[in-house]
Amino acid sequence: MSHLVRAEFRRLFATRLWIWAVVAAVVFGGGLVGLLTVIGPENVNPPLPGLDTEAGIRAVLGLAGLGVIAPALFGATAVTSEYRHRTISATFLFAPRRWSVLAAKLFAYLVAGVAYGLITATTAGIALYAGMAVRDVPTGAPLDVVAGLLLRLVVAMAAYTVLGVGIGALVRNQVIALAGLGAYLYMGENLLLFVPGVNVAYPFLPGGATAALTNFTALTQVAHDTTGAAPQLLSPQAGAGLLIAYAVAAALLAIVLPLRRDVT
Amino acid sequence: MSTIRKPVPGDHDNPLTGMTKTSDGVRVQVRNLTKRFGDVPAVTNLSFTVEPGRVTGFLGPNGAGKSTTLRMILGLVRPTSGDALIGGRRYVELPQPARTVGAALDASCCHPGISARDHLRIYCDMAGLPVRRADEVIEALEMSGFAGRKTGGFSTGMRQRLALATALLGNAPVLLLDEPTNGLDPGGIAWLRRFLRQLADEGRTVLVSSHVLSEVEQMVDRVVVLNGGRLMAEGTLDELAAVTVPAVVVQSPDADLLAARLADVATTDGRPPRIDNTNPGTLRIHGLDAEQVADTAAGSGLRVYGLTPYHTDLEQAFLQLTGAERITR
């Protein structure tokens, strides 16, 4: 098993994709948070609470949580690129017990997802404090609260990476997997929030769970203001649990599904 | 593993392949293999054996079911019924599959953003081999010139070589190669022929599929011919040539009359003979032997100036077996 994990890490670093993932983590972490901090959340439209309040800190770091789309897409390439470039035959020849290949990929990508989350969170934290120092804004939340919020980002990024691996293993076609996942996470889920009646499901979808985990209520607030009613998000703990449950379910599917399928 | 393959004591590694000779080979047995994709039969009740120490050609036109059969042998495609055994075990049950069977299924088998060397190292990792094995194979296949380049820019010949290199990583006693001559120039084919001969001489079991007989004719000892998912022939090349119908060439000034008479003569398989008027005064008759033609001519009082058995070549035999020319007779 360990040699399969080693092979997956080697595969991961053999192309340039990991460099782009690091760039994405920095941009959606430090870049986005730095930009918002410097502009000031109270100056965006619709205005968010200022950084001198805890709500403002939560909003800014929560926005970084919207960047989960990148690790999800990154994870989705794990299996789909093997089908796209037809290496999956050789891979299953070298490891005919197919579940072991998927398990190795899931483990490698879980580690990569945690690394992605750490880069996002670290750069976001640095950007937050640096931005507030530059603007000379008093911090609205103590360090332990900020650290906790940043840790939640790490959990979200890692969970979405694993979720992406599972979705990719399920769909297999790279274009469909990436386009579908991207469209759903970027648009679909957020649009659902604005459909009365349907939006009661939102807290139980991955996006809703993420919002609960990162305490990001801006979107639900907008939905509430627009439609007059918005569902109540789960507690952060329940959101984290649900998100991890999604990731575990996707991982199990990824392990079980390829077992019987013909590779032609 | 040791039960199916033993290195010969005192035998040295082969300088070209970096491999060790094996004393006893591993037989591949295909038994009553059937695969249907939905209602479409791809392979029907197929049985054959691939012997160690020989290069076996796996022949048939495109769509004959060759690749599907190879994929069933390798556990990638699940048979509808029947099974395939490698040294008595199914592929998925092999304790060290990559060190027992080397397979090259698809020449487009690599990520375009990965170098050939990294590609091979990944599979070294998967098989639990030291990564230097990748360099040994690169050396043996004379790939050093391009091993560091990303595979996206590779020619078909380079891809074929990389696919073959991947198959050789595990130094396996069994090699299954799907259309390895595709995209190779004549020099490349000659090189592959020598290389496969050497692998077979080391006691390995080598199966090479192709839809072009002439490309593998010089490199195989035995053939398994497939058409429409069914076994058409299995044996040596001589045996393959022997299954073709007899044919004779006859010169006669009464060619037209003779042709009319011959058309009524019963052939061994009950179908009327096929008669080609190749030149004025010359007929080529498939399905009858010289004796039958001479007797018919004599019985009808027709003149015969020449009578020569016509040797159908191997290609003819192949086309006949695979139905491409089954036809007008």
pLDDT tens-digit map of A61-80: 988 888 899 999 999 999 99
Q: Which of B66, B91, B115, B125 best probes binding to A when mutated, by most A CB atoms within 10 angstroms?
A: B125
Which residues in chain B touch residue A2, judged by CB atoms under 8 angstroms apart?
none
Out of A3, A10, A93, name the one closest to residue B74 (CB): A93
Mean pLDDT of chain B: 85
| For A91, nearest residue in chain B (alpha carbons) | B123
Out of B106, B122, B166, name the one closest to residue A10 (CB): B122
Task: Kindly report the backbone phi and psi dihedral angles of residue B83, in degrees, each rounded to the nearest multiple of 5, phi listed first.
Answer: -155, 175
pLDDT band at B328 (very low <50, low <70, confident <90, very high): very low
Residue B141 has pLDDT above 80, yes or no: yes
pLDDT score of B150: 94
Q: Inspect the interface and report whether the beta carbons of B110 and A87 lie closer than 8 Å.
A: yes
Which residues in chain A touch residue B114, judged by CB atoms under 8 angstroms apart?
11, 14-15
Higher-scoring residue by pLDDT: B2, B211: B211
Higher-scoring residue by pLDDT: A118, A136: A118
Q: Percent of chain B scored above 90 by pLDDT?
A: 59
Cα–Cα distance between A2 and B79 in angstroms, integer? 31
pLDDT score of B14: 45
pLDDT score of A197: 79
* CA B289 to chain CA centroid, nearest Å: 30
Residue A260 has pLDDT above 70, yes or no: yes
**Nearest CA distance, B93 vs chain A (angstrom):** 8
Q: What is the pLDDT of residues B170-225, one digit of tens each?
A: 999 999 999 999 888 888 899 999 999 999 999 999 999 998 888 888 899 999 99
pLDDT band at B313 (very low <50, low <70, confident <90, very high): low
Q: Is B78 on the interface with A (CB under 8 A)?
A: yes
Q: Inspect the interface and report whether the beta carbons of A264 and B71 lie closer than 8 Å.
A: yes
Tell me what the mean pLDDT of segment A194-213 comes to.
Answer: 87
DSSP string, A186-245: IIIHHHHTTSTTGGGGGGGSHHHHHHHHTT--HHHHHHHHHHS--PPPPPHHHHHHHHHH
Which residues in chain B touch residue A85, judged by CB atoms under 8 angstroms apart?
108-112
Cα–Cα distance between A153 and A66 in angstroms, integer? 10
pLDDT score of B107: 65
pLDDT score of B3: 36
Residue B132 has pLDDT above 90, yes or no: yes
Amino acid present at B46: L
pLDDT score of B13: 44
**Among the ranges given (A12-16, B85-89, B137-141, B217-221), the one the predictor scored with the smallest mean pLDDT:** B217-221
Higher-scoring residue by pLDDT: B1, A224: A224
Q: Percent of chain B scored above 70 by pLDDT?
A: 86
Amino acid present at A34: G
Cα–Cα distance between B283 and B281 in angstroms, integer? 7
pLDDT band at B243 (very low <50, low <70, confident <90, very high): low
Residue B12 has pLDDT above 80, yes or no: no
Please report the number of interchain residue pairs, chain A to chain B, with beta-carbon separation below 8 angstroms: 87
Residue A38 has pLDDT above 70, yes or no: yes
Residue A94 has pLDDT above 90, yes or no: yes
pLDDT score of B275: 86
Higher-scoring residue by pLDDT: B264, B44: B44
Which residues in chain B touch residue A15, judged by CB atoms under 8 angstroms apart?
111, 113-114
In sequence order, which residues have a C-beta less than 8 Å from that of residue B169 and are 6 or more positions away?
B98, B102, B120, B123, B124, B127, B129, B133, B134, B137
Higher-scoring residue by pLDDT: A193, A229: A193
Residue B29 has pLDDT above 50, yes or no: yes
Residue A216 has pLDDT above 50, yes or no: yes
Residue B8 has pLDDT above 70, yes or no: no
Tell me what the mean pLDDT of segment A213-231 comes to.
Answer: 78
Q: Is B130 on the interface with A (CB under 8 A)?
A: no
Mean pLDDT of chain A: 90
**3-class secondary-structure state, position B34:** strand
Question: B205 with B30: CB under 8 angstroms?
Answer: no
Higher-scoring residue by pLDDT: B288, B19: B288
pLDDT score of B86: 96
pLDDT score of B7: 41
pLDDT score of A217: 76
Cα–Cα distance between B146 and B138 in angstroms, integer? 9
